[in-house]
Each structure stands twice: as C-alpha cells, then as structure tokens.
C-alpha cells in the first residue's frame, strides 16, 4: 500500500492531491499530517478512511469517518492542522514569511506507519528573484517573476500589523506579476504607528513600478491590500489614476482613525493618512463602555466599529470617493468578520458605486463562514484568534477553519484573475 502526493514540491497555492493505492478493498486506514514550524511548535492533523472497492483512496473525493476535518477536501490534512505548542495563537503564517513549509503525510494501518511522504510548499517559484528597494524614501521588496518581461506591475501591502508582507509579493511574482511588497509603518526607517501616513509615499511606489523597464505597457498598476490595507487600496484607487485594478481584502470604504501603539490604540481620534500635509477625512471612534484593552480576550472589535456608524454624518464625510477611481474594483469580505464589519463596509461601498453609476467593473465577494483572515491555500487555518502586534492584545478574527479555508482559496483565485483582467 502506497501514498501518492502530487506535487511533492510546489507552490503554496498549488492544488495538492493526496491518494492511496495498492490496498485491499474496504480496508481501514489512517492518514496523519505533521509539520514543525520555525518556533518549534508541532502542528498535527489526522483522518480515518475506508479504501474504496478498488483498494484506493483520493482525499478530494472521500469524506473521513473521523478526524480533524469533515467533508471532502483535497487539502484537508493541511488546513486542519492544529498546534499543541506554547503559543497556539501566534501568527504562524506571517512569522514564517517566505521560508519553505515542509509537511509530512503518513499512512497508517492498524496503528503502524506503512508509508510516508514529505511535501515541500514554497512561496517563490523557480527563477523568482527578490530585489531590495530603498530610494526616494520608499523601502520595499520587489519580487520579479521568472521568464522574460514585460510583467503586470502590482503593489501589495498589509494592514494594521504593519511590517512587510514578503509572502504575498513572492507568491504573486510566482504567478507572473512584478510585485512590490511595501511596508508603510512598524518597519525600520518608517513610522512606528499607523498615524499620519502620507499618500505621497504610495504615489512614489506606484511611479517606481510604472517606470520599471520590466513593467508591461501601456497600463497602470494593480494594488492588493488587506484589512486597513484594503481601506488603503480603495483610497489609492480613488486618489491616483495610475491604479487600474484594486483587490481589497476585508476592506472598508470609509476611512477610519489611526492606530496607536499605546493608550487608546484602536479607539483613537488621530488621522491614518495625509494628503499634501493635511489629514484625509476619517471617522473617529466613539468612546463607549470599556475600552478594548479592558475587554475579556479574545476581543471582538466589530461591535465597536458598528457603533461608530451611529454618527452617520461623520461616516459619510469619511467615505472614500470611490466614484473618482479609474480602476476595476474587487472587494472581498468575511460575513463573520470579528475585527470589523468588512461585509457591511463593502456593501456600503457598493451602494455608493451604484448611486454614482460607476462605469467600470466592480464586484463584492462575501463569504458567510469566513472571518477577517483569508488563509492562503494549503496552510493551517485553525488559528482564529491571535495577539496583535499593535498593542499586544488577543483579538478574535472570526469564521471557522473550514470557512476561512474555502474563502481563502476562492478569493485567491478570484484575485489573480482580477489582476490579470479576466
């Protein structure tokens, strides 16, 4: 009896197939998944099956009798892994950045291992190169696809966690996009907080991509952002005509106040963004009840953001003028988002576009069992709460592991197609 896994070496978002062959019809088997992350935490999953009438098993078609996941999932052994380490709520994916992820899949019969395979999943494909960027005040990583240019240019960035999201840049470059992974705070040489970040910083980054001789011409730049970065992506699209496509994960079409590293943290009343030295209009937080820092963990921030909408006049004044955009707009949200009501915010944005008769393609993908985190394919999705680097508090993201996995896969495929103009 043998395990068959294809590919055994591939990209994070490849379709991984796990199968068993050579067994007796109806024989019971157990499959186990395992990986050790860089912090030393052990991640494990398992599932029991009976082989089919031909002595075979295909995880894409078979439903486990018991295990760490239910239903038919080709990558079930990957996304359902849980850790028993000392820090189960850490941001495991981001902590690993672009390091290769090694998984071990083991086939057991009667409690005895009969075969095992190692699967190596990579963020960057063969020939993808990283170039450091540090000029005109812009600090970034430029990920260059393999092959011959021209390449579609894309600017990507994260949200309230700050720092640089190398993994997104590497994966997008592996799919053919000339991608600049851009930090804008909480990174050496940049502001420590998401406060008073000038939009001109992003304008310079957009122009760098447009001026790169490897960038496709004619055309503009696609932007991809998550959470506060989703808000930023929509804001850049409404501000700079060089942006021709926006992918905004769990975004807001309303500009919100900044996030400080101490004191009020999320419930602040300071600008996030500036333009020509002046604050971009924003919706401040309404003090109510206990501050987030005093709520029992994991904290759900969505009720606090919903309460801010009670001041509808201020919310309208802080709405992003999306009708000024020259871009195709894709909004992606989780309907069980516990960090902020991204589906509601996205629907308000779509209503504004409809009211203004927005002529360019625009779409909102809302996923009912997804939260704030849209996992990349094949990665463990069992972490639904973690300690946030902004203030050290434990926050709830929402969604279910299965819901976040399905949403992450579908959203990732939709994002790639949107950036390609498909």
Quote the CATH superfamily of domain 2-122. Acyl-CoA thioester hydrolase/BAAT N-terminal domain (2.60.40.2240)
Distances in whole angstroms, Cα of residue 265 to Cα of each of 8, 243, 270, 294, 301: 44, 31, 10, 12, 12
Q: How far apart are CA 118 and CA 102, in angstroms?
A: 7
Q: Residues of the chain whose pLDDT is less than 50?
A: 86-95
Q: What is the pLDDT of residue 295?
A: 77
Answer yes or no: are the C-beta atoms of 261 and 192 closer than 8 Å: yes
Q: What is the pLDDT of residue 38?
A: 77
Q: Is 147 helix (H, G, I), strand (E, B) or coil?
A: coil
Residue the block writes with tokens 């929402």: 398
Note the residue count of the chain. 422
Non-local CB neighbours of 278 within 8 Å, separated by 6+ positions: none
Residue the block writes with tokens 């009976």: 50
Q: How far is CA 407 from the centre of its chain?
A: 11
CATH number of 129-420: 3.40.50.1820
Q: How far apart are CA 412 and CA 395, in angstroms?
A: 24
Q: Where are the domains of the chain?
A: 2-122, 129-420
Q: What is the pLDDT of residue 83?
A: 86
> Which pTM was predicted?
0.95
Torsion of CA 389, 390, 392, 397, to 10 degrees: -80
Supply the angle between the helices 228-239 and 199-211 in degrees, to the nearest 10. 70
Distances in whole angstroms, Cα of residue 169 to Cα of each of 107, 223, 225: 35, 11, 11
- CB-neighbour burial class of residue 358 (10 A; exposed 0-12, middle 13-18, buried 19+): middle
Q: List the helix and strand counts (H, then E) for the chain.
A: 9, 23
Q: What is the pLDDT of residue 390?
A: 79
6 C-beta neighbours (distance < 10 Å), count:
14
Q: What DSSP state is assigned to residue 372? A: S
- DSSP string across 300-345: --HHHHHHHTTSHHHHHHTB--GGG--SEEEEEEETT-SSS-HHHH
Structure tokens at 87: 């820090």
138-189 tens-digit pLDDT: 999 999 999 999 999 999 999 998 889 999 999 999 999 999 999 999 999 9
Structure tokens at 412: 């990732």
Q: How far apart are CA 145 and CA 186, in angstroms?
A: 27
Q: How far is CA 2 from the centre of its chain?
A: 35
């Amino acid at each position: 009896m043998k395990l068959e896994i294809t590919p055994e070496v591939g990209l994070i978002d490849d379709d991984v197939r796990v199968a068993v062959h050579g067994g007796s019809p109806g024989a019971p088997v157990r499959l186990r998944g395992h990986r050790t992350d860089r912090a030393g935490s052990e991640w494990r999953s398992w599932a029991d099956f009976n082989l089919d009438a031909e002595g075979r098993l295909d995880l894409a078609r078979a439903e486990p009798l018991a295990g760490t996941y239910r239903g038919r999932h080709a990558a079930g052994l990957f996304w359902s892994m849980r850790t028993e380490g000392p820090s189960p709520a850490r941001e495991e994916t981001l902590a690993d950045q672009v390091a290769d992820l090694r998984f071990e899949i083991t086939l057991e019969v009667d409690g005895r291992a009969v075969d095992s395979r190692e699967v190596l999943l990579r963020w960057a494909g063969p020939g993808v190169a990283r170039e450091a960027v540090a000029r005109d005040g812009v600090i970034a990583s430029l990920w260059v696809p393999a092959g011959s240019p021209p390449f579609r240019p894309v600017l990507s960035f994260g949200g309230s966690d700050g720092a640089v999201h190398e993994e997104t840049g590497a994966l997008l470059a592996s799919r053919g996009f000339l991608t600049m992974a851009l930090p804008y705070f909480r990174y050496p040489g940049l502001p420590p907080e998401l406060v008073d970040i000038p939009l001109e910083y992003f304008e310079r980054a957009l122009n760098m991509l447009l001026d790169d001789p490897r960038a496709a011409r004619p055309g503009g730049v696609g932007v991809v952002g998550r959470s506060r970065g989703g808000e930023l992506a929509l804001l850049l699209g409404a501000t700079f005509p060089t942006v021709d496509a926006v992918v905004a994960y769990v975004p807001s079409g309303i500009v919100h106040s900044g996030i400080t590293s101490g004191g009020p943290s999320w419930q602040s009343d300071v600008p996030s963004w500036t333009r020509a030295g002046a604050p971009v209009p924003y919706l401040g937080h309404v003090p109510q009840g206990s501050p987030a820092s005093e709520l029992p963990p994991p904290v759900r921030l969505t009720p606090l953001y919903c309460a801010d909408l009670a001041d509808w006049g201020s919310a309208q004044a802080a709405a992003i003028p999306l009708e000024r955009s020259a871009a195709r707009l894709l909004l992606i949200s989780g309907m069980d988002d516990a960090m902020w009501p991204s589906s509601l915010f996205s629907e308000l944005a779509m209503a504004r576009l409809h009211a203004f008769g927005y002529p360019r393609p625009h779409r909102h993908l809302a996923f009912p069992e997804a939260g704030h985190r849209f996992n990349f394919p094949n990665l463990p999705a069992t972490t639904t709460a973690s300690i946030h680097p902004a203030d050290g508090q434990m926050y709830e993201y929402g969604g279910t592991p299965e819901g976040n996995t399905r949403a992450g896969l579908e959203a990732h495929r939709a994002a790639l197609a949107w950036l390609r103009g498909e």
